[in-house]
Structure 1
Amino acid sequence: MTQENNEQIKAIIFDVGGVLIRTFDHSGRRFWEKRLNLPEGAAEAIVLTGEMGTRAQRGEITTDELWAWAGEYLGLGDELETFQQDFWRGDAVDSDLMELIKRLNSHYQTAIISNATDALLDSLENYGIVPEFDLIVGSAYEGLLKPDPAIYEITLARLGRRPEETVFIDDAPANISAAASLGMKTILFKPSINLAAELETLGVRVS
């Protein structure tokens, strides 16, 4: 997607959850937590950040196995599908960020490194954003989770880039620290930051 440029930065690498795709509405998850007498945040802990979610993101179990376990653990029975739909319905692509990425594509390689289950590609295809990226690296496919340096090294090798030729954008400080330790330039993402301006400070052309 890129025309070769003479600047030092050659590739921009993005996280997905919390960056490209964010949960703008938590009401679906909160509804089920109240219904199941769970504390706030328990839904995310069960599906995303707990032991089974981590195993799914490492590729040790499939997405289907994760949801089957969650349904049994929560006693959802035939309501599992509704729970899944409510869990994800508040998520959406950051449209402003995607417009920025489309501008970056004319000058840079763009890539993804995501801690995600084996449903990552299907999810990104459903959101319609796969064509905007030269490379997508998912933890479940590699058997590696950020901040393991190996997942960054795999990405760099596939892009054909040195660490100092890349910018990595993530919302997790540990993942940012790991990338920086390899020599990658980094931006800790927060919804409140002006990402275009942050990129410009690193010498990235954003128009």
Structure 2
Amino acid sequence: MTATAPSRPFDAVLCDIDNVIRHYDSAALTALERAAGLPEGTTARIAFAPEVVLPLLLGAITPREWVESITAGFAEQGVLDAAAARPLAVALPGSPFAADQEVVALLRRVREEAGLPLVLVSNASVSLEDDLAGLGLAKLADHVVSSARVGVAKPDPRIYAIAVEYAGVAAERCLFVDDSRENVDAALALGMSALHYRIPADLRDALAPAFTTLR
């Protein structure tokens, strides 16, 4: 009797970008916060408040306008006046970033070796495509779904539906990868397999079935 190869549990991968593929270096921002006598993370708390960041993620404002909103947020909360806040507001989106090459290699392998569609799904600004090109990742995936381009952001089910359509398989046959528990839970609610990402080993283990079926 001939052994039958195990079937894989997914036929496409939908993957987040920030804090999975791309990571920011916040050292300069942290130094500015300390110099201003602020707790580390103050700028991020103001910048990523829904009322401040959602217009950016939905493509309603530019990154430059987001800086102005962050600056205004400092003043409105009585943290710093506009002149003192602006360098911090500029430093957050200006933080240098780099790609995790171990994650990139895993995603390239699942697409090129296992032959699975790869769709990147990101809550991002209109600069995402340029950022990916700068990292040399413009061709990493089959498709990129940016919230700023489609006008909906995770965990809204509509952005998942767009990504699934690009993947060309049923939602139940997609593996969704994200560092946000809220976003992962939304994918699970739609019937997807999902990975709450923390470290590259998590992704390696989650993708392993795509390769074992090739043996």
Q: TM-score range by the shorter chain?
A: 0.7 to 0.9
Moved over 6 A (4+): none
Aligned to 2:110: 104
1:46 matched residue in structure 2: 46
Superposed, 1:66-85 pairs within 5 Å as 66-71=66-71, 75-76=82-83, 80=87, 83-84=90-91
Q: 1:179 to 1:52 in 2, by over 3 A?
A: same
**What residue is the counterpart of 1:12 in the other structure?**
13
SS of the aligned residue for 1:128 comes to coil
Residue 52 of structure 2 contacts residue 66 of structure 2 at CA under 8 Å; is this kept in 1? yes
CA distance in 2, matches of 1:8, 1:179: 15
Alignment of 1:141-156 (within 5 A): 141-156=149-164
Q: Per the alignment, in what secondary structure is the counterpart of residue 12 of structure 1?
A: strand
Q: How far apart are the structure 1 equivalents of 2:47 and 2:62?
A: 12
Superposed displacement of residue 186, structure 1: 0.5
- Structure 2 residue 89 is the aligned partner of structure 1 residue 88: no
In the TM superposition, residue 187 of structure 1 has moved relative to its aligned partner by 0.6
Is 1:184 the counterpart of 2:204? The answer is no
How many residue pairs were aligned? 198
What SS is found at the alignment partner of 2:19? coil
Matching of residue 134 in structure 1 with residue 142 in structure 2:
yes
Q: CA deviation at 1:192?
A: 6.3
Q: Tell whether the 8 Å contact from 1:28 to 1:87 is kept in structure 2 after alignment.
A: no
Q: CA deviation at 1:191?
A: 1.8
Amino acid at match of 1:88: S
Q: Which moved more, 1:157-166 or 1:11-20?
A: 157-166
Query: What percent of counterpart residues are identical?
Result: 26
Structure 1 residues 141 and 171: alpha-carbon distance in aligned structure 2, compared to 1, 3 A threshold: same
Does the C-alpha gap of structure 1 residues 28 and 50 become closer, same or farther in structure 2, counting only changes over 3 Å?
farther
Matches within 5 A, 1:166-177: 166-177=174-185
> Which residue of 2 is the match for residue 3 of structure 1?
none
Measure the CA separation in 2 of the matches of 1:49 and 1:123.
Answer: 23
CA distance in 2, matches of 1:190, 1:130: 24
Per the normalisation by structure 1, the TM-score is 0.83
* Alpha carbons 2:29, 2:88 under 8 Å: kept: no
Q: Which residue of 2 aligns with 1:119?
A: 127
Cα deviation per residue 1:13-38 (whole Å; 9 max; x = unaligned)? 11011111123x43111012123333
The match for 1:35 is 35
Q: Name the aligned partner's letter for residue 126 of structure 2.
A: D
| Pair 1:102–1:128, CA change in 2 (3 A) | same
Amino acid at match of 2:31: F
In the alignment, the residues of structure 2 paired with residue 11 and residue 157 of structure 1 have an alpha-carbon distance, to the nearest angstrom, of 11
User: Aligned partners of 1:86, 1:194: CA distance in 2, in Å?
Assistant: 28
Q: Which runs of 5+ in 2 are unaligned?
A: 1-6, 75-81
Q: Deviations over 1:65-123 (max 9, x none)?
A: 1123335656358x75994388412x221111111111112211111111111111111
TM normalised by structure 2 equals: 0.81
Classify the secondary structure of the residue corresponding to 2:211.
coil
Whole-angstrom distance in 1 between the partners of 2:154 and 2:168? 20
Q: Which has the larger radius of gyration?
A: 2
